[in-house]
Structure 1
Amino acid sequence: MKTILNIIWLLLAGLWLFLGYLLAGVLLCITVIGIPFGLAAFRIGGYALWPFGRTVVDRRDAGAPSLVGNVLWFLLAGWWLALGHIATGIAQFVTIIGIPLGIANFKLIPVALFPLGREIVSTDRPFTDRW
């Protein structure tokens, strides 16, 4: 079922979201200061491309730099991205087949707001200790 939802998602929203995050990541990686934000955009883009079957967990080893980076991200880009996901999610709720897609869009809001200090993992093992 996850695969079917991912294919529908890819065709209706995922590809465009992925390309947007990919462009943002490339632009952010132009400067040395923007590289952590660019890498975060690439991670979110991969998650936006194929969201079903994956989830976001907090990293326990993330510290103060992630907090400062998340504040900067929120002020510069995060709230715009979250508004886009909210609008798209509401629009997807109009049809019955769009309801799971809208839910997936709402799952992207927290990571779009604060991406640093989080990790995207498979739902088969969301709480595996990797560190």
Structure 2
Amino acid sequence: MAQRSLLSRALWFVAVGWWATPVVVNAAWFLSATVVGAPLGVKLVNLLPTVLTLREPASMTDPSSARGQRSLALRALYFVLVGWWLGWLWANAASFLAVTVIGLPLAIPMFDRLPYVTSLYRFDG
């Protein structure tokens, strides 16, 4: 996909990103709470930087990204005990920071770390 200009990304943020991001965050967590909706919830979490500023999502399909991951069982246990609520708090804090505009430089890296905070998923993005 082609790179978008800084101007188009800024206009998107002002017109749509600032209000749509908290909506998508909470929709993703609602979907993730259901077995059927969990795959869509995960996809929405991965699209948060795009919703916020039209930034291209990081590629998580690289086979080398699986190296160094914690076991799926450990990640699932972490998600059930800690990740679902900590990730929700983290994502909503990042959404709030993004809405303040002055907090946007902190919000973007927080969204980048959201997969790790939620499920210990590491990738080079």
TM-score, length of structure 2 as denominator length: 0.42
Q: Which has the higher helix share?
A: 2
